[in-house]
Structure 1
Amino acid sequence: MVTSENEITRRIEERDSERSVRRAQAATVVGQLARRRAELAGQVAELERELGTVLTEAGDVIDAAELAQVTDIPVADLTRWLEDATRSSRSGKRARPRAKTHGASGHRSKAATEPPAARTAAQAPAESAEAAAGAAHS
């Protein structure tokens, strides 16, 4: 016997309902775990910053190798925390790289300061010869 249209619809809705409940449960658990993970990652990052600060401050009396010996903490971990602390304390203080517009003499060449259209046809071959000579000496 063939199932009626109403029965088919009811069965599909029932299966969809069960599936929707399971999907909602899965999404809820994943969301909770992800939030918990983010909180723990923040706590770990803060602990590593504190470790780096302590290592930096104690660096004049004990180094990472000696700390590794007395604490059984791998020297690689101690070094990473120390480097992360010194790297973050220097961030924003690095000098910007300068544009390479200086010639071999260390002075800015006229070609570097003038737009290409400002150079005459006679200057271009002379500059090419200078560049070739400079490359030969490198």
Structure 2
Amino acid sequence: MKCPEYLDGWCDCGKCKAMRFDKDKNIHVCLVCHKRAEPLVPIELNSNDWLPDKTEQFSVNLADWIKQEEAELGENAFYHPNTEYLKVLREINLHEKEFIANSLDLLKMARNHSITYNQLTEKDKSVIDFWLMDEIYLVTYDDE
């Protein structure tokens, strides 16, 4: 039996890095699981066919968000620039109760309501900006 010609691509079995195309049978075969499949070829990022997914926007209770951020930071909450980040969030919370996740909402609120934010150095402000604009995922369960 003749070995099929090598073809770049990946199977969705997750174990292999390549597939082979059998010209006689006109099928693609995974080199590990031997499943017949279409080759999965990576898409170029500058392709017109590729469009990034838009992240879902939803309302978040700011006080709950601050508690969650403090819990995630743990002991690091007491170190620079984390202390400034949490202080900015608390200053926003004095004026706002909720924000829209995955938008510029927190950043706009920081500029409008936080004295700490407006007094930060440019270097610290860029770090805080990154955290204020960080993507937030909503995790739900089927029972909810």
**Higher share of residues assigned helix:** 1
Quick check: which one's strand share is greater?
2
Instruction: Point out the structure with max Rg over C-alpha.
Output: 1
The TM-score with structure 2 as length reference comes to: 0.20
TM-score, normalisation: structure 1: 0.21
